[in-house]
Amino acid sequence: MFDPRSIAIQDSIQDVLADVDVTINEIGSYDRHGGTDAGALTDRQLVAVETALSIGYYAVPREASLADALDCAESTASVLLRRAERDLFARVLDRYDGAIGPVETP
């Protein structure tokens, strides 16, 4: 079905594009993390954070074991979560005019 609004939308887009130069530098697959704070995390770190939140790991008192939920050693779960927290906090704080310097990954 024809929608007359589509012509107005197309005309508006053409007007904008006439004033905009576009250069394609790279073509690749879409990264679901791009542009978000989650983009600072590896897939494994994101799973650890999502799992920690969903099982009540951050509840007081703590309601669950992240290591059990991730089926890994306690030290592994701890490192995943600490690195994820570090990267998330660094990204959030960076929004406030560089409240902290660059984070070095060991």
- The predicted pLDDT at position 58 comes to 92
Is residue 102 assigned to a domain?
A: no
Is residue 75 assigned to a domain?
A: yes
The whole domain housing 75 covers: 4-94
Overall number of domains in the chain: 1
Is residue 85 assigned to a domain?
A: yes
CA distances from 24 to 9, 12, 21, 27, 32 (A): 24, 22, 10, 7, 20
Is residue 103 assigned to a domain?
A: no
Q: Is the pTM of this model over 0.85?
A: no
pLDDT in tens, the chain (106 residues): 556 666 777 777 777 777 777 666 766 665 555 567 777 788 899 999 999 999 999 999 988 999 999 999 999 999 999 999 998 888 888 777 665 555 565 5
Is residue 99 assigned to a domain?
A: no
